[in-house]
């Protein structure tokens, strides 16, 4: 795993962009994005924290956008309606339904890949889902990258011994 960080770390900010984008294409559970981003930050502490946070949020949002589009295409092969349609109708009626739901999933440890799979299945069409997710990731990444040196260093020392 450290080889991946070393290889992509040579690309400066493009490394985290590529890794996070590819990770966010996955519909199954992956390591937390903030952990990957903080690993890049730990390898190269000359990176600007704000720039890294914005790149991380943008890569995560772009990856989830592509995931949603892929799931929407697979939905074309199924004519089934489900309870997700009820949820989609509810979110469509609420002015900020997609914004709030995406924001909540982005700032909490809830698995947001499942959210975007559901968005794809209901063929959600709202820019708000991406805006809420992006803002939520900005906040979450900033908080986690700010505290990660305090949290991650003790863990690495524990495992070194």
Quick one: which of 128, 52, 73, 123 has its CA closest to 97? 128
Q: 18 is written with which tokens?
A: 């590529």
Residue 100 reports pLDDT greater than 60: yes
Q: Is the per-residue pLDDT at 152 higher than 60? A: yes
Identify the band that residue 36 occupies on the pLDDT scale cut at 50, 70 and 90: confident
How confident is the model over 37-70, as pLDDT tens digits? 888 888 777 889 999 999 999 999 999 999 999 9
Q: Is 149 helix (H, G, I), strand (E, B) or coil?
A: helix
Question: Residue with structure tokens 């089934």?
Answer: 80
- Helices 49-75 and 14-23, interaxial angle, to 10°? 30
> How many angstroms separate the CA atoms of 42 and 36, rounded?
10
């Amino acid at each position: 795993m450290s080889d991946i960080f070393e290889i992509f770390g040579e690309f400066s900010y493009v490394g985290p962009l590529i890794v996070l984008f590819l990770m966010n294409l996955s519909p199954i559970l992956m390591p937390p994005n903030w952990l990957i981003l903080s690993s890049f930050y730990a390898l190269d502490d000359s990176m600007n924290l704000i720039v890294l946070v914005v790149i991380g949020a943008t890569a995560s949002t772009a990856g989830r956008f592509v995931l949603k589009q892929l799931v929407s295409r697979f939905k074309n092969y199924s004519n089934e309606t489900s309870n997700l349609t009820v949820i989609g109708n509810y979110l469509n009626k609420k002015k900020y339904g997609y914004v709030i739901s995406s924001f909540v999933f982005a700032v909490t440890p809830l698995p947001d890949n499942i959210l975007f799979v559901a968005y794809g299945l209901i063929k959600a069409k709202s820019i708000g889902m991406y805006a809420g997710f992006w803002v939520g990731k900005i906040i979450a990444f900033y908080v986690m990258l700010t505290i990660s040196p305090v949290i991650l260093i003790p863990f690495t020392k524990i495992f070194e011994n």
